[in-house]
Amino acid sequence: MLSGKIIGTGSYLPDFVMKNSDFEKLVETNDEWIVTRTGISERHISTGMENWEMGLNAAQNALEKAGVKAEAIDFIIGVTVTPDYFYPTLSNIVEAKLGATNASCFDVAAGCTGFVVGMDIAWQYLRSGKAKKVLVVSSESMTKTLDFTDRSSCVLFGDGAGAMLFDSTESGGIINTYTMCEPDPEGLLACRALKPNNPFIKERATIFNDLSDTHLRMGGRDTYKFAVRVLPKAITKVLEGTGVTLDEVKYIIPHQANLRIIDHVTEYLGIAHDKMYVNIDKYANTSSATVPIALDEMVGKGLLTPHDKIIFAGFGAGLTYGAALVEW
């Protein structure tokens, strides 16, 4: 059975570190509130670097570690909800800058679940034999969507990028994926794009009437409830029919949105806290990039050994959620 094995990981975080205390000058908040309610202490934010450039750095990092030349890549799957352009896409720009001249490219937008969805799609190409090397690269400039006067959301996010390079394999690699989407008719997690502006508009059909600007809008408490409900489901579903038990999984790499969400899910599943990889304290929520950034950090720390079973799990706007089970 063909599958896809992760042969390279990469990440990029902008140099500028914004601490919780820096928000005290912008909104009525403090370090203690942010740490106890979210687990976040600081986040990296872009002070000018474009989204594609962070993604390119993460992709180059992954290729270098794998010792693979850009020309060998068959597909580049860009993952972002904060692109620089509607087109060309993140993947198009990364392809051009890498010189990945033999790659087909497209982007995936699935909120913070985007990387898991990207892995799911990569798996389809790899298991069918259509591709041998697939690069999945996420880059998110979340801070460009933030309203820095809204204390309930602006403290939660950061910028960053991560990448994984997959190679075709006949043993190990991706074992299973599970993705799902629950309708979000009220726009619990939403960010407006361009508005219609042709000269003939009479009436506009709007879905979220109250969403007038292009800032992120989030119902925090309902998002929290959604997350603690669907994360355990995604983790359970991805194991179904694989013969792999939760006990056999060495690490779960959850989307990093709030430490309390992760702790809640850890307790619900009855697993040890050190089975859940957590780095939200340093980077906050970088949307779809949290998962590959975390994996690259784990690789850097030497936490993984061949044949370890790991689960990536995400949730986010859409309302999307999902998981990927991988043999390292």
Which parts of this chain interact with ligand ACO (CB under 6 A)? 29, 33-34, 37-38, 111-112, 151-152, 155, 189, 218, 220-221, 223-224, 227, 257-258, 261, 285, 287, 316-317
d(CA 132, CA 63): 14
327 by DSSP, 3-state: which?
Answer: strand
Report the residue number, 122 or 218, with the smaller CB distance to ligand ACO.
218
**What region, left, alpha or beta, does residue 52 occupy, with left being phi > 0 and alpha being psi -120 to 50 degrees?**
alpha
The catalytic position among 112, 191, 215, 258 is: 112
Report the residue number, 169 or 223, with the smaller CB distance to ligand ACO.
223
Q: Give least dist CB 205 to ligand ACO, A.
A: 24
Q: Give least dist CB 24 to ligand ACO, A.
A: 9
Report the residue number, 112 or 276, with the smaller CB distance to ligand ACO.
112
Report the residue number, 151 or 282, with the smaller CB distance to ligand ACO.
151
Our answer to whether residue 105 is catalytic in this structure is: no
d(CA 74, CA 62): 15
Contact 139, 93 (CB under 8 A): no
Work out the number of other CB atoms within 10 angstroms of the CB of residue 125: 20
Q: Give least dist CB 132 to ligand ACO, A.
A: 32
Maximum Cα–Cα distance across the chain: 61
Q: Give least dist CB 160 to ligand ACO, A.
A: 14
Our answer to whether residue 112 is catalytic in this structure is: yes
The catalytic position among 105, 215, 255, 258 is: 255
Our answer to whether residue 44 is catalytic in this structure is: no
What is the DSSP annotation of 70-100?
A: GGG-SEEEEE-SS-S-SSS-HHHHHHHHHT-
Active site residues: 112, 255, 285
